[in-house]
Amino acid sequence: MPDLLVSPGRGSAAPRLLAAGDRLVVATHNRGKLKEFATLLAPHGLSVVIASDLGLPEPEETGTTFEDNARLKAIAAAEAAKMPALADDSGVVVDALGGDPGVYSARWAGPEKDFKAAMAKVEELLIARGATTPERRSARFVAVLCLAFPDGANELFRGEVAGTMIWPPRGTGGFGYDPMFVPEGMTRTFAEITAEEKHAVSHRARAFARFAEAKLGGLRGAPPSATGTKEKRRGAPPGATGTKEKRRGAPPGATGTKE
């Protein structure tokens, strides 16, 4: 799957860069994501505006892939705010569950954002499928960032980190499924490591590194493992390189926002 996808805007296909002082809308209402974006954007001198501060609504996520949802959120914010917008869509893809919860990761937590219940559901399904050993519990966090402009031009940047789903959950940091996910090469969950350690290896940091390299003139403070334009997908099952995530596991009538 390409790590960088470009859709030219109306009347222009030329690459567009952001410079220090430019205004940028971060199109998310998720506080956990806002905190991570603030840290990642801080070194670059952009004037960051939050979508909620502008009173921008959250568009319904009708896409069936992370790319679809990141794009629709970024374009909606850019057109409404009349300035560039950065949005992300992310989730955890569990191999033994056929890729679930995937793009529906946040919706599994329901309208109350009960991720303890969502993690318990993942564990229940893993047990039901006989996935009781680490080898059977492989997973990956996926994040796709979209930078969009008011004329509809947009670019996508994808990052992934492979790991294992554990039980019981451990740690009090992070958010979402972090307490259940041990990244490859570590023994602690995303919820047990420090914010600095997470920024060095996370899916969002890797996607951001590609965004920074392409749009901010280089990587400042980005993790060394994320400096290339391509990332080898570790732990991905055979055949998992397509551009679409299968649409599975969405609860009936679920329209909640993504984690």
pLDDT at residue number 14: 56
Q: Which of 207, 236, 256, 247 is nearest to 103 (CA)?
A: 247
pLDDT at residue number 5: 59
- pLDDT tens digit string along 86-108? 999 999 999 999 999 999 999 99
- pLDDT tens digit string along 1-54? 555 555 554 434 456 899 888 999 999 877 777 888 888 888 998 888 888 888
Angle subtended at Cα 258 by Cα 252 and Cα 259, rounded to the nearest 5 degrees? 130
Asked whether residue 143 carries a pLDDT value surpassing 80, the answer given is: yes
pTM attached to this predicted model: 0.78
Let me know if 239 is exposed, middle or buried by CB neighbors in 10 A (0-12, 13-18, 19+): exposed
- pLDDT tens digit string along 54-77? 889 888 888 999 999 999 999 999
Give the residue-averaged pLDDT of 155-163. 97
pLDDT at residue number 7: 52
Asked whether residue 83 carries a pLDDT value surpassing 50, the answer given is: yes
Q: Is 89 a catalytic residue?
A: yes
Question: What does CATH list as the number for 4-9+20-226?
Answer: 3.90.950.10
- pLDDT tens digit string along 125-135? 999 999 999 99
The model's confidence at residue 171, banded by pLDDT at 50, 70 and 90, is very high
Q: Of the listed 3, 68, 88, 89, which one is catalytic?
A: 89
Residues 213/228, Cβ–Cβ less than 8 Å? no
CA 196 to CA 237: how far, in whole Å? 29
pLDDT at residue number 234: 39
- pLDDT tens digit string along 188-233? 999 999 989 998 999 999 999 999 999 987 434 334 333 333 333 3
